[in-house]
Structures are given as C-alpha cells and as structure tokens.
Amino acid sequence: MSDPALGLLMLGLIVVVIMMGFPTAFTLMGLGMFFGYIAFYNPMELWSENRVFDLMVQRTYGAMTNDVLVSIPLFVLMGYVMERGALVDKMFYSVQLAFRRVPASLAVATLIICTFWGIASGLVGAVVVLMGVIAFNPMLKAGYDVRLASGVITAGGTLGILIPPSVMIIVYAAVAGQSVVKLYAAAMFPGFFLSFLYLVYIIGWALIDPKIAPKLPESETRVPVRPWIAQLQQVYSNRMLPALVGALATPGRALQIDAEGMRVSYRMLLQNFGYALVPLILAAATMGMTWWYVVIHQQPDIVSPTAQAATERMKAGPSAPAPAAAPPEETLQELGSGARRPAPAVEEQPQELGRAATTTNKPAAAEPEVLQQMGNRDLLKDIKAAPAELGPPTAFYVYFWIICALLALLLVYYYWTMEAEQFEVLRLLVSSVMPLGLLTFVVLAVILFGITTATESAAVGAAGAFLLAFHARTLDWKRTKEAVFLTAKTTSMVCWLFVGSALFSAVFAILGGQALLERWVLSLDMSPIQFMLLSQAIIFVLGWPLEWTEIIVIFVPIFLPMLKHFAIDPILWGTLVFVNLQAAFLSPPVAMSAFYLKGVSPPHVTLNQIFAGMMPYMVIVIICMVFMYIWPGLTLWLPNYLYGG
C-alpha cells in the first residue's frame, strides 16, 4: 500500500474509532504513533531509533509552548466559577418579568439568559444543564410544547462556543495561526445575529400557533412592589422618577414612611434613585465611549516642532539647494557596505538604509548631506492604516446625533411612563444582570480595543468571577475546589487534544495524505464559491457523528492550506465554521446538547421529542451562514475597522 493510501486509511480510521467511543486525544496519538512508525520505518535501525518518537516529543513541546493556549484554563475557570456560584436564578426571574408581555415570554427569557450566560461562561454543557434545571420544568408546567421548550434550551446553550470569549475560537486560532483578537471581533456580530434569528423564530411560532406557548396566569406575571414604594407614590407622585427626586429634595414626608416595620432612610432613597438612573447612565456611557473611540481616540498625535522640521527636510530630499560647497571628507557609510575612499570633489552621503552606497558625478555643492528616511519610500506608501485610524466619515456625525436624539426620546418616554412595577423590574435587572454584564463587557472590551491580550483579559475575567461569587455569598470552599478541578480536567483534555492532533496532522502530511487531498480538490477546478460550499458541507456532515473538538483539530487543518489558492479569508472561513459547528451540538446521533438536557428533564420527555425540537434550529444555522456569505461585512467589518484588512 502506498503512503498516500495509508494516509487516507488513517483518516478513515480516526472517524470509525472515535464513533466507537474511544477517547479522541489518545486515539489521535495512537494512530499517529502507529502510522508514523510505518512512515519512518527503516530496517537498518532499531525500533527505538524510529524518528516517530522524536516527532512525538517535538509536537508535544510545540503544543505546550503555544502562548495562545494559556488563556483557555483562565476562561474555563471563569465559566466554572460563575456556574458553581449559582448566579443565574435571580437573573432568569428578573428577565422573565421584564418580558412578561411578550409571546412565549418564558422561552424568550430562556434564550436571552442562555445567550448572556453563554458569553460569560463559554461552556455548552454547563449552560444547557443549568437552564434545564431552572427553566425547563417551569415551561412544561406552563403548558409549553416540549419541542419549543427543549429546542430553545439546547440551541441557546450552544451559543456560548460562538460568541466571544469562546474556547473554540482560541483552539481554531492556535490551529490556523490566526489572531485571537481578530477572530473574536469577527464572531461578535454573527453570534448575536444567530441569537436574533432564534428569537424571531420563537416569537413567530408563538404568534402563529398560540397553543404551543400559553399566556401565563396573572399571578405569575404580577411584579411584587415593596410596600414603602407604594406609599412613596401616594405621597409624591405615581411616576417613580419625580417621586424619588421629590423625596430627595424634600425628604421630610418620605422619612416618616413606615411600611411593615421598615423605616425609610435617606440612604434607601439615594440607592433607589441610583437604580432609576441606570438606563440614562448606560445610554450616556455608550454614546460617550463611541464618540471617544471614533472621534477623539483616533486623532493623530501632536508632532513636536523639531520632529516636524526633520520630516520636512527628509521630504525635501536631495533637491534642496545647499548654501556652499563642502570640502571632501570621509562620511559614515551604509551599515555593512564597508568603508571606501571618496572620489575627489565628490562627497559621500549617508545612504538610505537598505540601499547600496553610490557615488555621483555631480559637484558636492548640489548634493547636500541630508538624513534619509529608513525603509523604501514605495513600500511605506503602500502601508494602509485601519479605517478606525483614518478618522470618522462625515456620515458618522449625522447618524450619531440621530441615534442620540432617538435615545433621548426613548428615555423621556420610559421615565414618563415608569411606575412602581416598571421600577421594581428595573431594580431586579440591575441587581442580577448588571454585575455579570459589566464583567463580560470589560473582558471583551479590553481584548477588542487592544488594551490587553486574550490571556490577560481571561485573567481579569477569572478574578472578576471570583469577586462576583464572593459578593453573592454563593461560593464556598467545596464549590471552589469543584470549579478548579473541572477547570484542570477540561484544560488537560484540550492540551492532550492539541498534542494528539499535532502528531496526527504531521504524520498525515508525511504520508502524503494532505498533498493527495489538495491535488484532488484542485483537479476539480472549482470556483471559490464552490470550494466554500463543499468545505462547509463536509464540516456540516461531520458534525453529525463528531464533536467540534475533533472537527477543529483533525479536519479543519486539511482545508486551511487550500484557502490561499482560492483567495478565501481564513477569518471569514473560520467564522463560518464556528456557526456551522453550532449544528454539531444539535444534530443526532451525537447531539450532546440533547443528552445534557435529557439528564435533567422529567421522565416523560423522550430523546425523540428533544431531537424534534432541535431540528428547526439547524435550518436557522444554515440561514445565518447564507447571510454571512452574501454579506461578508457582517463578519469582517468589525475586525477590519478595528485592526485594518
């Protein structure tokens, strides 16, 4: 059997053995060692001198010294700490009250929490199990269709591996040699867009067929209002903002309120006034940061007069007239050119770095000694700054002020209609969602704006998760040990996967399997669109029997060398793979989300019902990929704007 045929046999065996249930990492290493021994076999050498053992050591060392992988244990620790800290219960209750008048409000709240919690933790299994415990039974008790309830949990739970910070994106960056930061920026909009498509599907289905999601009874949608808030309304105003402002300005009547033994204090009034101002603060902070980053932050630095004069002299070049002729003298030569004696009446000048030193036949008076710019001027002209560095276009100011005006009108309407129930919902949202939201925003912002690396932001996220859990008083020593143990277990699994995939891909290339597949694909004479469709279709089909880890570390490296031939951006292609792999968690028979949910569901819920609920979301994933390909700006606009093309 020829070496390329051995490579194809190796590729086929890995799928069969993984489907038989063997551990992926050790299967990769075992097949890599076996076929590598055959590839390097030399009958003149002892078996212990086979070079496959050297290859194993080199690939292991290379995987362990990959700096990109350092962020994985920190992001995983962040997710497990928040999951063990039980920070979701209050969040689900408050979000459900906020959307109580929306069709299928429990399913909508579940999707929002899955999206938000997936961003914070990035753990599919943890999100599906947690939301299965918190939301699945309430939806079934409310009369929701099993397909709707199971589908929204399983599909929403997989968003954690797509929306940054995501371990899958880090793994792809390490495999493909791409920037983690650019991949995070590229996956941001597609992730939220896919979540939006899920939301449209849920609400649309509930509007078309209200029986699948009956309205909740009034007792479950009534917002509990604290007694002293109701009395404050009676004393000052039904609208909460004027009532709180009046109570702070003239606190005499407010401080006399005594509701069910609770005495109102001035501190309570200040605290609740702060809750009321949160929407205004968030809107002002968002628009202010947008203005700062787009308009102020991107302005060029002020150039000192000395540097400006030197720049002008360099631009003037050798055409500037000299005041008088200088006598011949020995001058500094270009580094590495060696000293040479100048010709009579000809002055040697410092040459541009990288260009050979030459002498001219013109008089010295016409050739003044000037400083030359480092590098090639033609190459320097070709350097393009990122769009963010070029300053905002004129249309930005128009849209910015229009959005500001619309936000101002919305805030005026919101505060004008905000009564006790709305205020209580706002207070619950701020107390339960705000801390985790701020942590997630900080982790993503410091990465995308280049303040820290992915590893440093992961450390910030892990520290913030501990602070949130300690503040909520839900993380004890036992749960901390569990979080650390699970982090070590997950991290070791990922590292062994990298070692096994590195060895497997190296042996596969040595046997000629990679070159054989490349020649076969190129012989088909496909267009870039056809290659894109073929590669994504193969990955979609592989998602049925395999998990995302096997696809990323085994099959994605096969396609990566071909992207350059078809002029396909690896950032765009990789983001399409991320969205495509959402289907890997939703496609039987290895739909891990279904098995996670089945483990915490009531006995009467069958796997077939869960599978039936997941199928429509696979179609939505394909629709999202079509949008991404038709409109590449959905994926590439943010990384191109922040970091350039």
In this prediction, residue 645 carries a pLDDT of: 61
* Model pLDDT for residues 87-108, shown as the tens digit of each residue: 677 788 889 889 988 999 999 9
CB 275 within 8 A of CB 423: yes
Mean pLDDT across the chain, nearest whole number? 81
Task: Provide the whole-model pTM.
Answer: 0.79
CB 576 within 8 A of CB 148: no
**Structural domain boundaries of the chain?**
1-41+49-214+428-645
* Model pLDDT for residues 219-240, shown as the tens digit of each residue: 778 888 888 898 898 889 889 9
* Model pLDDT for residues 251-289, shown as the tens digit of each residue: 888 888 887 777 888 999 999 999 999 999 999 999 998
pLDDT band at 491 (very low <50, low <70, confident <90, very high): confident
Is the confidence at residue 372, as pLDDT, over 80? no
- Residue 479, SS3 per DSSP: helix
User: Residue 548: which of 577, 573, 572 has the closest Cα?
Assistant: 577
User: Residue 443: which of 456, 433, 426 has the closest Cα?
Assistant: 456
pLDDT band at 343 (very low <50, low <70, confident <90, very high): very low
Q: Which residues contact 375 (CB under 8 A, 6 or more apart)?
A: 352, 353, 354
Neighbouring C-beta atoms of residue 97, cutoff 10 Å: 20
* More confident call, 310 vs 361: 310
Which segments within 33-100 are labelled E, that is strand?
none
What's the Rg (C-alpha) of the chain? 31
User: Residue 444: which of 176, 66, 192 has the closest Cα?
Assistant: 192
Window from 271-275, 309-313, 495-499, 619-623 with minimum mean pLDDT: 309-313
* Model pLDDT for residues 514-567, shown as the tens digit of each residue: 888 888 888 888 888 999 999 999 888 888 777 788 888 888 988 998 998 898
Q: What whole-number distance in Å separates Cα of residue 591 and Cα of residue 578?
A: 16
Is the confidence at residue 148, as pLDDT, over 90? yes
